[in-house]
Structure 1
Amino acid sequence: MDKNKKQVAASLLATSIVVPMAVTISHADEENIQQVNINEDNTNQRSIDYRSITGNSVNFRKGPGTNYSSIGKLNKGYKVEYIGKSGSWINVKYNGQVGYVHGDYVSTSGNSNTTPPTDNSDNTVKSTKVVNGNSVNFRKGPSTSYSSIGKLNKGDKVGYISESNGWSKISYNGQIGYMSSQYLSNSDGNVNPPSGNTDESVKSTKVVNGNSVNFRKGPSTSYSSIGKLNKGYEVGYISESNGWSKIKYNGQIGYISSQYLSNKDESVNPPSGNTDESVKSTKVVNGNSVNFRKGPSTSYSSIGKLNKGYEVGYISESNGWSKIKYNGQIGYISSQYLSNKDDISSGGNNENIPSSEKADKVINFGKTLLGKPYVWGAEGPNSFDCSGFTQYVFKKSVGVSIPRVSRDQSKFGQSVSRSNLQKGDLIFFDTDGSNNGYVSHVGIYMGGNQFIHASSSGKKVIISNMSSYYNNAFVNARRVL
């Protein structure tokens, strides 16, 4: 290298050291320093590392902690530019703004390049679609973090290639790019719903069981909301797939998460469901003054009280409630208050085992599932979502039945303060943003400030520390052993 080139390289090296010091970076560490490539022609070109957001409604914050205000929300699939790391928080750039996202919600691998990652998949045009909005961005990639190739207006026709996570891959004027699916309609004018069963005939009436539930244009949180539905609203049920129900409400067709729908009959009368009332086995009540109810929830009135040692005819079980026959009457009892008759008489794995031993059984069984993949709506044995994991572990390890979804599990059993947590307790979190007490995640406390859970961000069953991101996301805890 000649003298002039050495001087230029030295100048560049000095600049790479001095410039970051001239900018106020209050949360920087070693990983915040970007790599700079010095080419032979002495030009600088930063290698851009594109990464993906792995969750929905993830806070994009001004600093590396939940005490910093949110700049906005990022959704699954959004591409961000990786800048560096501060503890468990990732410093990223999105849509021209720099901020922080918790590491649980940013992919660990990205594409280092000066252009967004390319897609080598099939680019065959399947059909023609029509743009239904004005000045709609035609982008280089499937998120708003990608730059715009240009604007398309209402009535423009495009070649439809494929769709994923609310973004359609299209061909227009010889170029391949992406457009938000909500701005595309079929050539007959209908807004582009997901492909599949086009039958829109109403099969039955169902009732919304939650408040401010999003009624969406498509079957995922990436689709925009048509409006909000509240508890007690009646809707026309059309079909269900992958945890989303296609419904009709107020003349509009849309989608709602199936967990927020109940059968109409269940809201007033006990569910008809399986009408088989034949007794399958004899079980024994393991608690005192246990309510024997007309239906499978605490909202149903009590027929009477059953005490420890009472024998009942077991008929069936669903969502943590057992249908039983006692003294000639059919009713329901919370499954946690029932034990197998043999377990009581032989000192089996239920009533006669101390709670600490049961907790060890729960935790040890949960550990055998470490690494199993996270799949939304999965209940095991080969994949789980968070509440499917906890339900499966308690049922298989100690025979305790708990409700299916986390919000119901958070009301099950006995309330426990955070300072009194014990091994085997269920712990609940709000992972959807600011902690307003809404339960969206659950795990099993292992002691030592650790818990085991099926993590959507980790994409598998893992062990985490409560002192991490989850410290400020904690909502409550329940003891079921």
Structure 2
Amino acid sequence: MKKLIIPTFCFAVLSTVAFEEKISAAPLHAEKASIEDVMFVHVSSGSLNMRKNGAEDASIVAKLANGTQVTVYSESKGWAKIKANGKGGYVSTKYLSAAKPGTVTKAAVTVKTTTKYVNVSTGSLNMRKSGKATASIVAILSKGTKVTVYSESNGWAKVKANGMDGYVSTKYLSTAKPGSGSTAVMPEKTTTKYVNVSSGTLNMRKGGSESASIVAKLSKGTKVTVYSESNGWAKIKANGKDGHVSAKYLSTTKPGTGSTAVTPEKTTTKYVNVSSGTLNMRKSGSESASIVAKLSKGTEVTVYSESKGWAK
């Protein structure tokens, strides 16, 4: 009996030791991702710095080449906590794509985006779950917050801000950061007036002076957009051209209408902002409408109204 028991006992002990050694030698499981998103590095050139924490001045722990697969654990304030090539760290979310660069898939990040800023006169801007005023609020954005705009429709913009996705009202976004001094920060206040000369035409000049060169001749009744008036001269836009005219030959009513007062048409000044190419100006608010002009990036436009994603 002793001869039979002892070998069995020894085998059991050796098996237990071997099992324990196997456990201790096994690699520790990586932190379980709260998101568990598999994404890819998407840089146009060079490599992406993976940093020790979510800050631009944090030390670099690795450099990731374009197309590198990463596991995303969480996203916050424009930074993603990831694991790549066996190392953990943080990278900027704007350089991550849901599809590997070069693959053709609907999930690929090929959406044209624009950068805008929250521009509220007081308080803050509600970012909502959907493009409705009654939708739940997912974040509160302060003035000057930088947002990535994916699309705009019916007065709402689909955006990403501080690492979160949602919708905000387009009227509280500007193409330049408030206080940066850019002319695109706030819409310019304008009024609509009409050329009112008793005979002949009105000279539109390059500057507010009788000696300034003439850029156009405006006939009676011509509709003009007035930007400002100073020292008897009005800075205007008429027939697609900018210049100055004598303010005394402008009236708030169209000559011959018999009206004593016309409410100036409220307009705003905006600028074309395309990432590449030009913007088609169409005859009506439809993709199938004929193209009347192609506008380059930065072109100043006077907006009369906006409806269903189209601006007149």
| Same fold? TM cut 0.5 | no
Structure ranking higher in helix proportion: 1
Larger radius of gyration between Structure 1 and Structure 2: 2
- Larger RCO (CA under 8 A, 6+ residues apart): 2
Which of the five TM-score ranges fits, normalised by the shorter chain?
0.3 to 0.5
